[in-house]
């Protein structure tokens, strides 16, 4: 999810009207959505500030502006929540971002640890026509290279039932569903060990968050807590 904020304007309206949202508003909406995407946790202004690399006062000013635009529900010292209009704006930007990341990996040979910043720049520059044609060109993918769901054209999407790898009981067989792309160490560790989205592996041990997986061919895969905490898995049947 987004870690930088761009400047300028975009063609996407904040609430389905004709007024255009600035790219900063788009980035804030996408960030708020992303911070609660998998776990459903409350989103604080401090978390938004940390994610975007801006000051808390700057976040407060933007959140107040978004409240005026009808994109968030804002109360001082309370969690930040997107309205339905804000959620739709966020999902529209998530769709753009993840389709572009998928394109960069599939068609241009980028690694999954290289695509975030490129997609962050491109998502604000391309037209909706480009996004729809890109979606068709890619045969309407449902997940991006990191396993994150891609919203459909109507902004609907589904999440698999998952848990963090560090929480899985020993002797469980798991399927890798998603890797948090804001944790480069996790992307590098899985790439080095050739563990891709969809891989099924058995958890040999899990101690203090560190995980050992059965890598097959008489070798194991050791993942530290930071990496295991960034990987979401489902229990294989």
| Strand, helix or coil for residue 188 | helix
The pLDDT, as a whole number, for residue 76 is: 87
As a whole number of angstroms, the distance between CA 155 and CA 176 comes to 24
Please check whether residue 15 is in contact with residue 89, taking contact to mean a CB–CB distance below 8 angstroms.
Answer: yes
Contact predicate 110/104, CB 8 Å = yes
Strands (E) across the chain are located at: 72-73, 81-82, 163-164, 173-179, 200-207, 210-214, 220-223, 231-235
Per-residue pLDDT, averaged over 119-134, amounts to: 95
pLDDT in tens, 11-42: 444 444 435 578 899 999 999 999 999 888 89
pTM as predicted: 0.87
* 1-159, CATH topology level: Arc Repressor Mutant, subunit A (1.10.10)
Q: Where exactly does CATH 1.10.10.10 map onto the chain?
A: 1-159
User: What's the whole-number mean pLDDT along residues 6-13?
Assistant: 40
The boundaries of every CATH 2.30.30.90 domain in the chain are 163-235
Task: Say if residue 6's pLDDT is above 80.
Answer: no
Q: What is the pLDDT of residues 108-117, one digit of tens each?
A: 999 999 999 9
Strand partners, 212: 205, 222
Q: What is the pLDDT of residues 177-209, one digit of tens each?
A: 999 999 999 999 999 999 999 999 999 998 877
CATH classification for the domain delimited by 163-235, as one of 2.40.50.140, 3.40.50.300, 2.30.30.90, 3.40.50.2300 = 2.30.30.90
pLDDT in tens, 66-79: 999 999 998 888 99
């Amino acid at each position: 999810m987004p870690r930088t904020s761009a400047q300028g304007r975009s063609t996407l309206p904040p609430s389905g009207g004709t007024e255009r949202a600035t790219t900063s508003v788009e980035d804030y909406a996408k960030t708020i959505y992303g911070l609660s995407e998998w776990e459903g946790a409350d989103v604080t202004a401090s978390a938004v500030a940390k994610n975007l690399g801006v000051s808390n006062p700057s976040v407060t000013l933007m959140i107040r502006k978004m409240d005026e635009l009808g994109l968030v529900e804002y109360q001082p010292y309370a969690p930040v929540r997107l309205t339905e209009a804000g959620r739709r704006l966020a999902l529209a930007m998530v769709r753009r971002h993840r389709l572009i990341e998928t394109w960069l990996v599939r068609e241009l040979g980028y690694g999954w640890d290289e695509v975030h910043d490129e997609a962050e720049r491109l998502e604000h520059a391309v037209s909706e026509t480009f996004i729809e044609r890109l979606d068709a060109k890619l045969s309407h993918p449902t997940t991006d290279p990191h396993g994150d769901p891609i919203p459909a054209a109507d902004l609907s999407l589904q999440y698999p039932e998952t848990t963090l790898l560090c929480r899985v009981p020993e002797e469980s067989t798991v399927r890798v569903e998603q890797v948090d792309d804001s944790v480069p160490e996790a992307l590098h560790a899985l790439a080095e060990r050739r563990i891709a989205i969809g891989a099924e592996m058995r958890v040999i041990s899990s101690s203090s968050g560190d995980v050992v997986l059965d890598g097959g061919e008489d070798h194991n895969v050791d993942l530290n807590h930071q990496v295991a905490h960034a990987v979401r898995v489902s229990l294989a049947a």
